[in-house]
A and B are shown apart, each in its own frame.
Chain A
Amino acid sequence: MGEEWGNVQLEDLYEQYSDAIFRFVLLHTGDSQHAEDITQEVFIRAYKGLGQFEGRSSYKTWLYTIARNTTHDFYRKKRPIAFLPSFFQNQPEVTEMTPSEIAELGEGVALLYEALSKLKPHYREIIVLRQIKEFSIKETAEVLGCSEAKVKSTTHRAMAALKKELNVEGFQHESVQS
């Protein structure tokens, strides 16, 4: 009974959140196949943890927390290069979308994506959560496992870094000020 309940819950969660989780992961990886794989892993981990979920946070922040950790784990396992000598390091950049995916975004947004992908990872994730996913400060703090004050200060810094990057990309003049 419990398992069936678990499966039903998982399917509900998948229906409700999988698209959002997929896009969240995609914004970090830039690769839709990896994003699908990670999304799959997220829901398997959620299934394993469903029995221990105490409802102290919402399902949404809980799943995003799993998604964040799974994304980190995925790339750490996939890219031991960072921890190994330099001859292993000729690997492709993680955040590269396919041409069709970039085209789909439109020129202005594609530039924005490029700028976003050049930010420090924790700046990128805070922008994704606060500005793109529109999480509250409290929700963002839950997902990132930090204080609300830290979320505020990091968001401010991250947005400043993004604007700086956009100026480099020439985005500011063409898109924002027009």
Chain B
Amino acid sequence: MNPFKADLELKKKLQQLNKVSRDTKAKQMTWSKIERKTVRMNWWDKMRRRLLHPIVIGPAVAFLLLLIIPNSFFNENSPSPHSSDQEIESDGMVMMDQGPLTNDEDDSPVESMKGSEEIDDKDYLDVLAYDVQTESDFENFYQFIQTETVADVGDEYKNTILNLLEDLDQLIKLKYMEEIIDLAQYLDPAFYENYPALLYNLFETDPMEFLNGLTEIDMGSEEVIVSSLTQYGKEKNKLSDMLSKIKHHIGDKSLLNNVERRRWNDLVAALGYEKYAGTDVEGEVLQKSEEVISFLMDDFSGLASFIHQEQGIQILNNPDKKSGLLFSRAEINSMEEVSIVSPLGKQLDMKKDEENLTSNELADETSQHLLDVVSLKYYQDIPNHPDELSTIHQEYPAGLYAEFQPKDMQNDHNEGNAFQLIFEDQEGTWYLVGIIMEGLLDSILESS
């Protein structure tokens, strides 16, 4: 069955909507009205041009200047002959004393008018701010902001509108998440940096809708958004809340879209990192990781003491558990007698004649050339499996992993050469529960 058939049918039906007939009489009447109006406009246009002709406008301007300049000159340079609170104007009108001149009163009429317009605008926007209560209101508001170039208004107005967006009803936020982000970005292209509270508020409303709503954001801005959100979460001690909210949606099929999936993974990785950055947990896991690596190169059985007593360890080719085998701590311990050269060792074999190196030199060589990047992450897209939903986090929801990447591979972005050590907490101590390293399992099976 052609999957596009339904879409094609729908498009055909939609195009029938374009076939509504138009009353020819009404069409003719509309043209008559247009003609009449444009003729009137022509007449006014001619009149305007005649009135603005230099021969007409020149003397008129000169006359006005004669009226205005001496009057203002007289007012400024001569003391008032009247000592009372009232002042008699040259035309005989009596007006109230305006009080001492202030800076405000020094403003030109244009500036004063502009000021009053701003107040009107503000009032109008304030009215808007209090009346966007229904979906229909929001739709009108959305159109209004975009058609009235409100983006040109000052920071005060931006704040008013952005605060309004934050205060919108939850249901409106849910339905119009994309439009709200669009509006905020329209008003302030860097709103995600400048208004982290709004950003967090939208995320909190529904992480999934929020991430899906970031349609117009480029990758560079996306990094800023992730960073802004995680920093805000850290400041407000909400990282755990954020992680639990986002975990709730992991596994959702709608995340299959590559762009949305990338956003999702980046955010969770950043949240995970921020949650443990600088903590004792990070220190413990990183230190254990380095020790595990030295055992991987030298004494495979030495790994046993790091392995989770109940769960054992899974040696995986990729984060999918189906790709690996489970070994108990005892099984790993029994490998003492078996000579296993892990892919890590093999990589070194190819790079250097390490047989001539002492173990210390080997370790130095390793840290210098091979294991340059050590980072603790909570969750990340699967290397080489961009279209699958199986991730480390899904396989090990309570796990933390340290990722190691060969230095010479960094510039190639060849994630396939990275490997991960996964740890899980058991009564306050972090144990190794998985190693994801392509080829390691084959080495073990060949040797045993």
Contacts and interface: CB of A to CB of B under 8 A. Distances in A.
A14 B34 contact: yes
Contacts of B20: 23, 26, 101, 104-105
Given A84-B127, A105-B16, A44 B34 contact: yes
Interface in A67-82: 69, 72-73, 75-76, 79, 82
Interface residues of B, number: 48
A23 B133 CA distance: 31
A40 B215 CA distance: 36
Interface string B278-302: 0000000000000000000000000
Contacts of B7: 159
B131 A116 contact: no
A76 B143 contact: yes
Interface in B11-63: 11, 13-18, 20-23, 26-27, 29-31, 33-35, 37-38, 41-42, 45
Interface in A1-17: 3, 6-7, 10-11, 14
Nearest to A108: B13
A72 B133 contact: no
Nearest to A35: B22
A162 to B, nearest CB: 8
Given A101-B20, A109-B17, A40 B33 contact: yes
A43 B36 CA distance: 12
B17 A39 contact: no
Interface in B257-271: none
Nearest to B7: A159
Per DSSP, chain B at the interface is helix
A131 interface: yes
B178 interface: yes
Q: How large is the interface on A (under 10, 10 to 19, 20 to 34, 35 or more residues)?
A: 35 or more
Contacts of B415: none
Per DSSP, chain A at the interface is helix
A53 B381 CA distance: 50
Contact of A104 (B6, B21, B26, B141): B21
A39 B444 CA distance: 78
A122 interface: yes
Nearest to A19: B22
Contact of A79 (B27, B37, B140): B140
A73 B21 CA distance: 25
Contacts of A27: 17-18
Interface of A: 3, 6-7, 10-11, 14, 18-19, 22-23, 26-27, 32, 36, 39-40, 43-44, 47-48, 69, 72-73, 75-76, 79, 82-86, 89, 101, 104-106, 108-109, 112-113, 116, 120-122, 127, 131-134, 147, 149-150, 153-154, 157, 159, 162-163, 166, 172, 175-177
Given A19-B27, A176-B6, 6 more contacts: A23-B22, A44-B34, A82-B136, A83-B128, A150-B215, A166-B10
Interface of B: 6-7, 9-11, 13-18, 20-23, 26-27, 29-31, 33-35, 37-38, 41-42, 45, 124, 127-128, 131, 133-134, 136-137, 139-144, 147, 176, 178-179, 215-216
